Amino acid sequence: MSDLQVTQLDRLPPDRRSWLMSRVRAKNTAPEMTVRRLVHGLGYRYLVHSSSLPGKPDIVFRPRRKAIFVHGCFWHWHENCRLARLPRSRLEYWLPKLSRNRERDAEAIAALNSLGWSVHVVWQCELRNIDAVVAALLRFLAPTSN
């Protein structure tokens, strides 16, 4: 595909698209803040973005050895989710990038599991049903009986 054809697929000019993408945050996103408020409202206290753990989980409960990742459906390529549609332009860039994001997520979860941590992932699209998210968080954070 020529550059002209690729540009025509995007509704925005390249400079506007670049500016828009530069505004995407890695930390303290709206979905992450929603989950943090829910967890705090349930009475749990936590650390955020622990750089000492693989994958820097978004929410960490050290004494419980539990971690939560809050994933945006697009950036983490949530399977069978309408929010995870591939862009129509520059597939040669996006396919490897999003594939690598998924691989990195799986590696981080496997590394945490190997260290004895339990991991829960909350997807952006799940936040449309707050009651279900709260129920899943309560199940995940409940003390495990030995």
Q: What pLDDT, on a 0 to 100 scale, did the predictor assign at position 92?
A: 86
Q: What pLDDT, on a 0 to 100 scale, did the predictor assign at position 146?
A: 43
Residue that has been written with the tokens 């597939």 in this structure: 91
The two three-digit tokens of residue 145, written as one number = 């009986």
- For residue 116, count CB atoms less than 10 angstroms from its CB and return exposed for 0-12, middle for 13-18, buried for 19 or more: exposed
- Residue pair 70/31 in contact (Cβ under 8 Å)? The answer is yes
Q: From CA 68, how far away is CA 65, in angstroms rounded?
A: 10
- pTM attached to this predicted model: 0.80
Q: What pLDDT, on a 0 to 100 scale, did the predictor assign at position 75?
A: 82
Topology (CATH) of 28-141: Endonuclease; Chain A (3.40.960)
The two three-digit tokens of residue 125, written as one number = 């699209």
Q: From CA 121, how far away is CA 123, in angstroms rounded?
A: 6
Q: From CA 39, how far away is CA 138, in angstroms rounded?
A: 9
Give, as one character, the DSSP assignment of residue 13.
Answer: -
What residues does each domain of the chain span?
28-141
Q: From CA 61, how far away is CA 16, in angstroms rounded?
A: 40
Q: What is the mean pLDDT of each run of 10 residues along the chain (146 residues)?
A: 44 66 68 96 95 96 96 88 79 87 96 98 96 98 73
The two three-digit tokens of residue 142, written as one number = 């409940």
CA distance from start to end of the chain: 59
